[in-house]
Amino acid sequence: MSEAPIPYPFAEPSRLDIDPRYAAIREQGIVRVQLPYGEPSWLITRVADAKIAYDFRRFGRRYGLTRAIPGMHNTEATKIPSLLLNMDPPEHTRIRQLAAGAFTPARIQEMEGWVQAFTDELLDEIEAHGPGADFISMFAHKLPVLVLAGILGIPKDKAFEFKKWIDVSSDSSTSPERKIEARETTLAFVRGLIAERRVKPTDDLLSVLIEARDEGDKLEEEELVSLAMALWHGGFKTTLWQLGTTVYTLMTHPDHWRDLKENPDNMHAALNELWRWIPSFKPGRAFGFWAKEDVIFSDGQVVKQGEHVLIEFGMVNRDPSVWPDPDKIDFHREKPLAHFSFTGGAHSCVGQHMARLQIRLAVETLARRFPNLALAVPAEDVQFDPDSFMRGILKMPLKW
């Protein structure tokens, strides 16, 4: 008889700490866990196992539309077939490639100038406010909105109103009725924007996607709407929280902040090491996959067809077999393996290059303009969000 699944998560996380029980779990290989809602799942904390689970030929998402999806709460409202998150190749590949065209390295490089302009503008406001300015509300909440509005062609004066409804729909403390209202409002906004672009096309991504729908027959109408929503959802909250935790980590590790300022040419490696080290998602919040066939994992454990796996990539990023001394931040690791903080496989973050650009420009500009930057309150007084799916910060006053 198989053992009963382990109740999961073990506990709610404290700031950026990782529960020490994960080290023991990793030694065991994959283990069966039971989240508060849904069927049992196999918990993955090793790099070798994550690579197996990210193979879309053997694991997928669509199977979950007919199952009780493991999660922290009832996930029935997320079972929307037209959502990119719920698709598998080849449908997923077809739609993703349309969006990916807007986020190629060449396109991102073209955007750098106006993203830098937004960065400077927001930091001007922080400087004018003076010490004690809240980085989260004055910068992290605003930059991704301005960038996404530019990419999707959302008028600047409407972008923050749209964001407000997105916040309501994604807040775990919002009532189901209020979430439905928020979702319908945002869908109506996107459909109205699509109608405007059909009459008056521009050079933004939304117009490109509409052309693919109307002339190229590459998108269904609901796929077009869902893709626009997915790009906003995926590009706003994740970048917001990563901006906050990246700066927080640098402020609470002053030796690394000094290293980064003294070695600006090492910025790429430094940021990747920070993103590897920072456990961005709270335990149990990452999306999982279902096995399309029986699959053997690294410890010999077989996941049977139809069973669910949950990749805790924040824990995968601390695998000592890949990163020596993984709990240590080291900006000078030799040839480090790519981390999993933007997930992996077919469902890796389509807008990750844009997120990386925003965070890089923010950190570079902070280092240049505010070399003496520090927290304006004790680290323990920085407020983390208890309701977000990521380890997000609510308020972080800075001084310089």
CA 307, 320, 286, 355 dihedral sign is: negative
Q: How far apart are CA 381 and CA 241, in angstroms?
A: 17
Q: How far apart are CA 302 and CA 225, in angstroms?
A: 39
Does 1 reside within a domain? Answer: no
Considering only 10-14, 214-218, 236-240, 351-355, which range has the smallest mean pLDDT?
214-218
Q: Where are the alpha helices (DSSP H) in the chain?
A: 21-28, 47-53, 91-100, 105-129, 135, 143-152, 156-170, 176-199, 205-214, 221-251, 254-262, 267-277, 313-316, 352-369
Residue at token pair 């196999």: 42
Does 276 reside within a domain? Answer: yes
CA angle 125, 127, 128 (to 5 degrees): 65
SS3 for 57? coil
Does 87 reside within a domain? Answer: yes
pLDDT at 399 over 50: yes
How high does pLDDT run on average in the chain?
A: 89
Q: How far apart are CA 400 and CA 393, in angstroms?
A: 20
The highest-confidence range among 60-69, 190-199, 227-236, 258-267, by mean pLDDT, is: 258-267
Does 240 reside within a domain? Answer: yes
pLDDT at 1 over 60: no
Query: In this predicted model, what pLDDT tens digit does every residue of 150-166 receive, in sequence order?
Result: 888 888 888 888 888 87
CB contact at 8 A, 275 and 267: no
Domain with 284, as residue range(s), is 6-399
Number of domains in the chain: 1
Does 47 reside within a domain? Answer: yes
Give me 215's structure tokens.
Answer: 């002339």
**pLDDT on residue 17:** 93
Q: How far is CA 156 from the centre of its chain?
A: 23
CATH number of the domain at 213, please: 1.10.630.10
Higher-pLDDT residue of 125 and 86 is 125
SS3 for 390? strand
Q: Write down how long the chain is.
A: 400
Q: What is the gyration radius of the CA atoms in the chain, in angstroms?
A: 21
**pLDDT on residue 341:** 87
pTM: 0.91
